[in-house]
Amino acid sequence: MDRHKLDRRDWFRAAAGAGGAASALASLPSGVAGDEPWQPFWVDTNVSLFQWPFRRLPLDEPVRLVQRLRSLGIGRAWAGSYEALLHRDLRGVNDRVAEACAEHRELVPMGSINLSLPGWETDLQRCFATQGMIGIRVFPSYHGYRLDDPSFRRLLQASAEAGRPVQIAVTMEDPRTQHPRVRAADVDLRPLPEVLRGAPAAKVQILNLRPRSQTLEPLVAAPQIHFDVARMDGTRGIAQLIERVGVDRVCYGSGAPLLIPEAAAIRVSESRLHEAQLRRVSSANAQGLTAA
């Protein structure tokens, strides 16, 4: 099958075949004639566990989400929690994430911190010391602070010292479908490059960004910033992002289950990436973010 001709119908047939075991992502063949087919180890850097606060989702039970990820060829998924958006007991939120990840080898726990709550530093220490979190995911729009807040600077510094990345969820849900009592605007990323100049060892991944020139251009100059592909638009979206920020700064991420997990995989299959680019996007860049 020619990767460049893998359309949506072919993709879904591959994903659904043979009892769900077929991997559409892993079926992307090598672009180099004569080479052994490359079977990538895909890392999804953007999934969430448990119930979305405003409606039930088809895959909001961990076992069902894991089954779908397996069918798509995902070997590891960095799992945060939807409960972190509105719950005040972040220790309990992170405990439940750690427990779910311990039951499913594909899931890797990503801790959540609410910088607007007292005692967040204790929650952060617990994430790294006892809960086994590989990084931290934050939701500034839901928790009510800006990226130039002193607490965010301290979070970056502490995470850098621990060798863990910080994920910033720029948005979660389209503004047109948000609950009228809980409106959350996209995170203002403009302060981030300057903040990172004061934390050169910090590693940051931006989740769910729809890159536009006015938002993306200032971020390109900050090499610590990585991006996921959950909300890329168009068949050329991922390739265009790579052209603008470099292939070493783009990671696979689906935004599942709020976003359909197949959507990101389809965008990858339509992006006509070369094998070396696929290696970086599928897993190598994610592994670099978590490397000490």
Per-residue pLDDT reduced to its tens digit, 32-73:
333 444 455 899 999 999 999 999 999 999 999 999 999 999
Beta sheet of 74-81, edge-to-edge order? 42-49, 74-81, 107-109
pLDDT given at position 159: 98
pLDDT given at position 233: 83
CA 131 – CA 108 distance, rounded (Å): 11
Scan for tokens 């390739």, then name that residue. Answer: 239
Answer whether 0.85 is exceeded by the pTM.
yes
Bridge partners, residue 205, by sequence? 167, 226
Three-state DSSP class for residue 84: helix
Mean pLDDT of the chain: 88
Mean pLDDT of 186-195: 96
Token pair belonging to 163: 């060798």
Which uninterrupted H or E stretch holds 80?
A: strand 74-81
pLDDT given at position 210: 87
CA distances from 226 to 221, 279, 281 (A): 11, 16, 11
Query: At what angle are helices 261-270 and 8-16 packed, to 10 degrees?
Result: 130
Mean pLDDT of 141-150: 97
Q: Does residue 7 register a pLDDT over 50?
A: no
* Ordered domains of the chain (ranges, CATH): 39-176+184-290 (3.20.20.140)
Token pair belonging to 30: 């090598």
Beta sheet of 136-138, edge-to-edge order? 111-112, 136-138, 166-169, 204-207, 225-228, 250-251
**Contact assessment for residue 120 and residue 114, using Cβ atoms and an 8 Å cutoff:** yes
